[in-house]
């Protein structure tokens, strides 16, 4: 596999696995607190996009501790499959799925977004959250997500973004460079301090390299049509969705 080591993992995969294997215990609480409550709102928008298509089979990629998968199970009647690179995040996810009483409708698999272990067109809808910043080639990952989506099915993805208004961009910069590492350290210890330090520059670099206009092109090149993007929370979040064309 190009760009991947003997383990089958790329450098980016190995980095993500190391980063997230240390986080699952407090992930759900800290994801809400450190996003200042925005994660829940954004996730709700993503789930509504998927639910509107009344899917029967849904894939949630980079499912982590299965928060999106559980929300999808509550909001739809679909059978949900969650897939993630990190065994530790999935373990926590399985506990959460059991606790939520939706284990009969959610299955969690370990796997890479770049090489999904599913047949072409297996799903009516595919969701992904906070994924593309962790893959070596976001355009190739999008093409792989589109591959497992049936023709006419919905793809919806969510990620952090950098506000474009100079004032809000300055506030965002101060929060991500100072507030986030400090709050991470106080609430979650060393592992969350490291995440806090990593996230701001990671989101900034990704935003520079993959502005919305380039992301739209990548979605279209992956075979998606009717591609839409919605900026949320003063530009701090970005939701994109589209349908797989014929």
Ligand X SMILES: C[S@@+](CC[C@H](N)C(=O)[O-])C[C@H]1O[C@@H](n2cnc3c(N)ncnc32)[C@H](O)[C@@H]1O
Residues at the interface with ligand X (CB under 6 A): 13, 16, 20, 31, 62-65, 67-68, 84-86, 89, 112-114, 129-131, 134-135
Judged by CB, which is closer to ligand X: 68, or 245? 68
Q: How far is the CB of 76 from ligand X (least distance, A)?
A: 17
The per-residue DSSP string of 123-141 comes to: EEEEEEES-GGGSS-HHHH
Burial class (CB in 10 A: 0-12, 13-18, 19+), 58: buried
24 phi, psi to nearest 5 deg? -60, -35
Q: How far apart are CA 170 and CA 52, in angstroms?
A: 36
Judged by CB, which is closer to ligand X: 31, or 78? 31
Q: Which residue's CB atom is positioned nearest to ligand X?
A: 64
Q: How far is the CB of 246 from ligand X (least distance, A)?
A: 27
Judged by CB, which is closer to ligand X: 86, or 223? 86
Judged by CB, which is closer to ligand X: 16, or 239? 16
Q: How far is the CB of 214 from ligand X (least distance, A)?
A: 19
Q: How far is the CB of 149 from ligand X (least distance, A)?
A: 16
The answer to whether the Cα torsion of 172, 181, 215, 230 is positive or negative is negative
Judged by CB, which is closer to ligand X: 11, or 226? 11
Write out the two tokens for 213. Answer: 């206009």
Following CA atoms 133, 134, 140, 141 in sequence, which dihedral angle do they give, to the nearest 10 degrees?
-100
């Amino acid at each position: 596999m190009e760009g991947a080591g003997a383990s089958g993992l790329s450098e980016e995969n190995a980095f993500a696995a190391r980063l997230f294997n240390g986080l699952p215990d407090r992930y759900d609480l800290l994801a809400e607190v450190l996003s200042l409550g925005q994660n829940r709102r954004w996730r709700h928008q993503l789930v509504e996009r998927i639910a509107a298509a009344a899917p029967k089979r849904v894939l949630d990629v980079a499912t982590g501790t299965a928060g999106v998968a559980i929300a999808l199970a509550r909001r739809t009647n679909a059978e949900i499959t969650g897939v993630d690179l990190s065994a530790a995040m999935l373990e926590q996810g399985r506990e959460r799925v059991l606790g939520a009483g939706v284990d009969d409708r959610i299955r969690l698999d370990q796997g890479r977004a770049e090489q999904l272990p599913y047949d072409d067109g297996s799903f009516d809808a595919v969701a992904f959250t906070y994924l593309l910043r962790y893959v070596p080639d976001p355009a190739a990952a999008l093409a792989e997500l589109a591959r497992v989506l049936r023709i006419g099915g919905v793809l919806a993805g969510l990620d952090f973004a950098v506000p474009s208004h100079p004032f809000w961009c300055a506030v965002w910069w101060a929060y991500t460079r100072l507030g986030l590492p400090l709050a991470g350290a106080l609430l979650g210890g060393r592992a969350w301090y490291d995440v806090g330090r990593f996230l701001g520059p990671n989101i900034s670099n990704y935003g520079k390299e993959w502005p919305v206009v380039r992301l739209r092109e990548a979605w279209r090149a992956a075979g998606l049509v009717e591609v839409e993007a919605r900026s949320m929370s003063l530009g701090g979040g970005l939701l994109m969705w589209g349908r797989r064309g014929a």
